Amino acid sequence: MKNYLLTASLAAFIAATPAWSHYGMIIPSDPMISQEDGRSVGLTMSFSHPFELDGMMLDSPVAFSVTHEGSTTDLLSSLQDATVMEEQGYTLNYPLERPGTYIFSMEPQPYWEPAEDAFIIHYTKTYVTAYGDDEGWDTELGLKTEVVPLTKPFGLWEHNVFQGIIKLDGEPVPYAEVEVEFFNEGLAATAPDELMITQTVKADADGVFTYAPPAAGWWGFAALNTADYTITEEGSGEEKAVELGAVIWVHFEEWTGK
């Protein structure tokens, strides 16, 4: 009987624990910078549950870079400390010297998540186009894991579908699971059920997934896989699994027609 009560209690605790997904985030001030917008883009980096605006500590990333016209520039030392969703995050104002697509990418430090008994590493990126030139929108960075866009990752209307190929070590991941979550700025959106906070789609046999958002705004796509290595957890000294996330943030624009 005692065991039963303990189990029931544990089940209640687990049920009450939010099922929100973790997301690495790189959110630009604008995904499409025109010459009238100025000559730079602002970026905000964080680690959070984006629907609930629940921030988590983002330690100094392992890597942060921008890729443009085939050239990658290390920007790690340019990051500015910032408080994002009441937690440690970073900001950066990056000058856009030329037209084209700029891909900002971040590799965070492994995040120990006791609730999952695993480390989490989300390779996070977003695409920004400058001055009307979208060349490079389908660039693959060659990250450990990433979503390679099949749909141009900006200039999308709400309800448009977004498609991408999930890659791990450069290879498509058949039937990979992709979690989708809205950056709920202002907490304007509410979910009738917890299942509506993070939606899940699966890729097809070629690693291609498809999603159409119900509203304009920033949407995060996180393709999750388990790494083929482990990391030692300092507290216990045990080897723990590592969740690798390929995260891409895509902005959908509000439809202006009737």
Q: Which residues bind another protein (CB under 8 A)?
A: 35-36, 39, 97-99, 131-135
Residue with Cβ nearer another protein (36 or 81): 36
Please give the sequence-ordered ranges of beta strands (E in DSSP) within 198-238, or none if there are none: 198-202, 208-211, 217-232
CB 64, min distance to another protein, A: 24
- Please tell me the total number of residues recorded for the chain in this structure: 258
Q: How far is the CB of 60 from another protein (least distance, A)?
A: 30
Nearer to another protein, 59 or 97 (CB): 97
Sign, CA torsion 108/18/14/89 = positive
In the complex with another protein, the residue whose CB is nearer, 135 or 239, is 135
Return d(Cα 173, Cα 177) in angstroms, integer.
9
- Inter-CA distances, 172 with 24, 143, 150, 169, 233, Å: 21, 13, 13, 8, 30
Comparison of 102 and 219: residue with beta carbon closer to another protein:
102
Q: How far is the CB of 36 from another protein (least distance, A)?
A: 6
- Give the nearest distance from C-beta 134 to another protein in angstroms: 7
CB of 97 to another protein, least distance (A): 8
End-to-end CA distance of the chain: 62
* Rounded Cα distance, 70 and 67, in Å: 6
User: Between 28 and 99, whose beta carbon lies closer to another protein?
Assistant: 99
